Amino acid sequence: MAAKTLYDKLWDAHVVRQNDDDTCLLYIDRHLVHEVTSPQAFEGLKLAHRKVWRVDANLATADHNVPTTQRARGISDPVSRLQIETLDQNCHEHHITEFGMNDPRQGIVHVIGPEQGATLPGMTVVCGDSHTSTHGAFGTLAFGIGTSEVEHVLATQCLIQKKSKNMCVRVEGQIPLGVTAKDMVLAIIGKIGTAGGNGHAIEFAGSAIEQLSIEGRMTVCNMAIEAGARVGMIAADDKTVEYFRGRPYAPKGDNWDAAVQAWRDLKTDSGATFDKEVVLNAADIKPQVTWGTSPEMVVAIDGNVPDPEKENDSTKRTGMQQALKYMGLKSGTPIRDIRLDKIFIGSCTNSRIEDLRAAASVVKGKKVASTISLALVVPGSGLVKTQAEKEGLDQIFKAAGFEWREPGCSMCLAMNADRLEPGERCASTSNRNFEGRQGAGGRTHLVSPAMAAAAAIAGHFVDVRELN
Amino acid sequence: MQKFEKLTGLVAPLDRANVDTDAIIPKQYLKSIKRTGFGPSLFDAWRYLDPGEPGIDHSKRRINPAFILNQARYRGAQILLARDNFGCGSSREHAPWALMDYGFRVIVAPSYADIFYNNSFKNGLLPIVLKADAVDRLFKETEATAGYSLTIDLAAQTVTTASGAEFKFDIDGFRKHCLLNGLDDIELTLQHVAEIRAYEQRRRQQAPWLFADKAGA
Ligand code: SF4
């Protein structure tokens, strides 16, 4: 049999039917649902008098709109409230399990899926959200879909898909001290660009990727979409198996043994070929900071804001000029001289327990700089929050002057009350620095949790490696 | 879904690479539970000088005269000319909904982000890929000629200028077929119910844990 990539294996195992053209009907094992991209899909279902095909394959939560303070009071914004009530109503009507706003298991959809073991190795996982690529971290085929496709999955448990090309991003060598999964993925995007993975499914491989914890792998796969790839994947290994052992939705007993055996094959065969390959050396990666309005506009902490005049491509040059104008930055400015107004530690990229531990270890015993008007920690889920509190991390953050909030998307996209005001500058552990993403006129710099924590203390960017 | 066959329409140029879906339709409008009404908020942060919120009267807002779509000569445009990686970022289908609601039926660009590209077809919005130099030429001609229009023929897979220059474009057969006939994907898939059931049965035997409920039986 011909050698297959991980993507080939996952794809082939889920083909229900090959159509006459190059599309397939692909079976979906897990569908995650949230309030923003589902209401129109449920409405479409109702209008066509269709039912949900396989109720137990769906799991829903409210995350994008939920307030991160005083939940007991409900949601004051009537538009947000209606959207969340609509989700509650739809899940109730169709008997779909939902972790509603006040459920202790509620959280960001991409945090709770793996946390519950509801997304497992070998599955196909979809959600009406581009960061569904996160779930690829354990040898899963996971990708974001639009609302029409949400309706399609609800109605048929399948999607009509065309296979992407295979791409491999290999990171080799020892990860330097103070460098995290976030820095790795930002460095990858800086190298291949935000369109570098368009049309491809990316497998992240190499010894540096293998060294990462499962949570770190999720951070890397989360941002595959920022490199243009709908799918990011990492082979399953022993760490993957250990991660899922005992999780609520994970298989039990004989099923567990059979599952683990099947998961052992979730890797690219030796000799399989990729359409595109990129190699990075882990030793070259330093803590990263974005300076512009696209995740590819990124430099190392010891670098400077670049000069558009040195860019030969005219469209790129204009893009850089527009970005500098929007960001209020001058070319040549050392990154460490950039002063911040707000700090956001959270989002589906970096809101899991290891992220909070990393940030807390930088913050411990120190104070947030007086020039920082707001420093937020928003855990990814209710269970992450509880765990962090058990470890006393909340106390460390609060003593330093951080606010400790309820779980949700929060200032990652500012659909709730947490946002930047025009002109405000933020060190954020999220994944998108687009114009207005964290609030109209707001300026976002993407960094790792440790870098965000260090910036909170200093009031400007600093190299975490120098704090150790 | 709305059919698409042939269209001759006014062209508007948006000369920026990596236009993301947050820019196409900002997050505050995503709170809507409807598919319609997003047109007035298309490119909201670029189009207006004041901040926009759902439910407000957009006709009373301060227009940004510097934004290209606000120029009188592009009013009523049905074809949007764009640069590389159009529609990157969030998967929000509100982006094609907003473009359609505004009046666009076609986008012409050198490349698109995958999810946006896919979402467009589901809504009868045709994203055409042309080579970068062809797109460049169209940008120059649009900017130089008031009332510049193009004719798009989906069946023939051509983009034709008023002066008769013709560009061929590629599109995969299934998408073309659905768009030409306004077909609903779900209806098509439900023709294969037996195959879906057979797959499920096979899979249930091979990998029963994928069908286990929370108890993980
Ligand atoms: S945390 Fe941000 S990127 Fe992640 S799902 Fe929520 S809004 Fe999207």
ipTM of the complex: 0.92
Tell me the per-residue pLDDT of A8-29, one tens digit each, with 9 for 90 and over: 999 999 999 998 788 999 999 9
In a domain, B210, yes or no: no
The DSSP result for A195-228, as a single string, is TTTTTEEEEEESHHHHHS-HHHHHHHHHGGGGGT
- Domain span at residue B147 reads 6-182
Into how many domains does chain B fold? Answer: 1
pLDDT, mean of residues A47-68: 94
Give the one of A29, A130, A435 whose C-beta lies nearest to B91's C-beta: A130
Per-residue confidence band for A36, with pLDDT thresholds at 50, 70 and 90: very high
Mean pLDDT per 10-residue segment, chain B (217 residues): 92 95 93 90 95 89 95 96 95 95 97 94 95 97 96 98 96 91 90 96 95 59
The three-state DSSP-derived secondary structure of B17-72 is CCCEHHHHCCHHHHHCCCCCCCHHHCCHHHHECCCCCCCCCHHHCCECCCCHHHCH
User: Which residue, judged by its Cα, is nearest atom 2 of ligand 1?
Assistant: A412
Q: Alpha-carbon distance A32 to A346, whole Å?
A: 20
Identify whether B205 is part of a domain.
no
Crossing angle of helices A109-116 and A214-222, in 10° steps, is: 150
Judging by beta carbons within 10 Å of its beta carbon (0-12, 13-18, 19+), is residue A386 exposed, middle or buried?
middle
- pTM of the predicted model, to two decimals? 0.94
Q: Provide the CATH number for the domain around residue B162.
A: 3.20.19.10
The candidate with the shortest Cα–Cα distance to A157, out of B209, B120, B207, B193, is B193
- What single-letter DSSP state applies at residue B170? -
Which of A33, A65, A83, A131 most suits a substitution to test ligand 1, by most atoms within 8 Å of the C-beta?
Answer: A131
Q: Give dist(CA A90, CA A106) in Å, integer.
A: 17
Give the DSSP H/E element, type plus range, for residue B76. Answer: none
Q: What is the C-alpha separation between B38 and B70, in angstroms, rounded?
A: 17
* Distance in angstroms (rounded) separating the CA atoms of residues A263 and A120: 9
Closest atom of ligand 1 to CA, residue A34: 5
Phi, psi of A390 (to 5 degrees): -60, -35
- Tokens representing A112 are 């709770």
Handedness of CA A437, A442, A443, A447 (dihedral sign): negative
Report if residue B168 sits inside a domain. yes
pLDDT, chain A, mean: 96
Alpha carbon distances (Å) from A129 to A23, A44, A146, A411, B37: 22, 18, 7, 16, 21
Closest Cβ–Cβ partner in A17, A194, A251 for B209: A251
In a domain, B189, yes or no: no
Would you say residue B211 lies in a domain? no
User: CB-based contacts of B121: which residues, under 8 Å, 6+ apart?
Assistant: B127, B175, B178, B179
User: Using a CB-CB distance cutoff of 8 angstroms, which residues of chain B are in contact with residue A252?
Assistant: 215-217
Domain-embedded: residue B85:
yes
Q: Name the percent of chain A lying above pLDDT 90.
A: 92
Whether B195 maps to a domain, the answer reads: no
Amino acid making up residue A332? G
Residue B13 lies in a domain: yes
Which residues face B12 on adjacent strands?
B80
How much of chain A exceeds pLDDT 70, in percent? 100
Are A364 and A396 within 8 A, CB to CB? yes
Q: pLDDT value at position B216? A: 42
| pLDDT per position as a tens digit, A357-378 | 999 999 999 999 999 999 999 9
